[in-house]
Amino acid sequence: MSRNPLHQKLISIIEPVLQGAGFELVDLRFLLEQGGWVLRVQVDLPLEQVTDLSEVPSDRVDLEDCENISRELSAVLDVDDPIPQAYHLEISSPGIDRPLRTAGHFAHFAGSEAKIQLAVPLHTDSGERKNFKGVLRGVIDDKVEIDCDGQKFQLPIDDIDHAKLVPDWDAVMHGKSGVGATKLPKPVKPGHRPSHKQKQKH
């Protein structure tokens, strides 16, 4: 993805530390918010440990993990000192609408629905386009394939500004992760196909 030099520097410092501790860098943002600058780092266990996308993993990053990672990253960032201004470090696990950053992320979640915003517009038959929402189909030659509006688009990973999963909230309400190709069957609407018991009540 296209990033500024500071962002690339932060990833080069933080990612090896997380990998050495057995975690994966999901996303990294350095933002100016109302209370000042915030370095927001999202971490998770490696994706290869997830065998069924539709299930919610039982063993993920918890509060204690985040506190330990925060201490370790603070020490490393104090030594390298890549950020000149004062800032607050925040460590968290990804939410249900998990950000997608690398080719591995996009490939792993093939079959899931996602939103992608490009930093560099894609030239299409109908003009330039930056925003895409559809089903991920994988990665080919450093391009993310996505089915969107009845078409298949190939988006260069280096041109992606931000991407995240779009969970199936119906599946989430049933205790699933809400991602992956497997969808829960839609419940029959009340009154659509009345049972004999319903008829007897009337």
Strand-pairing partners, residue 151, are 148
* Number of Cβ atoms within 10 Å of the Cβ of 52: 11
The C-alpha atoms of residue 12 and residue 7 are separated, in whole angstroms, by 9
Neighbouring residues of 132: CB distance < 8 A, sequence distance ≥ 6: 115, 116, 117, 118, 146, 148, 153, 155
pLDDT in tens, the chain (202 residues): 546 889 999 999 999 999 999 999 999 999 999 989 999 999 999 888 777 788 777 778 889 999 999 999 999 999 999 999 999 999 999 988 999 999 999 999 999 999 999 998 999 888 899 999 999 999 999 999 999 999 999 999 999 999 999 998 898 898 888 888 744 444 444 554 444 444 444 4
Give residue 151's pLDDT.
92
The C-alpha atoms of residue 32 and residue 29 are separated, in whole angstroms, by 10
Cα 78 → chain centroid: 28
Give residue 176's pLDDT.
86
Burial of 126 (C-beta count, 10 Å sphere; 0-12/13-18/19+): exposed
Angle at which helices 63-80 and 5-20 cross, to 10° = 130
In the 8-state DSSP scheme, what is residue 158?
G
Give residue 60's pLDDT.
80
Give residue 89's pLDDT.
97
Phi, psi of 170 (to 5 degrees): -65, -40
Distance (Å) of CA 82 to CA 9, 25, 58, 87: 7, 18, 36, 11
The C-alpha atoms of residue 190 and residue 178 are separated, in whole angstroms, by 24
Tokens encoding 117 = 């915003």
Give residue 190's pLDDT.
52
Give residue 196's pLDDT.
44
Phi, psi of 98 (to 5 degrees): -60, 135
What are the chain's domains? 5-92 (3.30.300.70), 103-173 (2.30.30.100)
Q: Is the pTM of this model over 0.85?
A: no
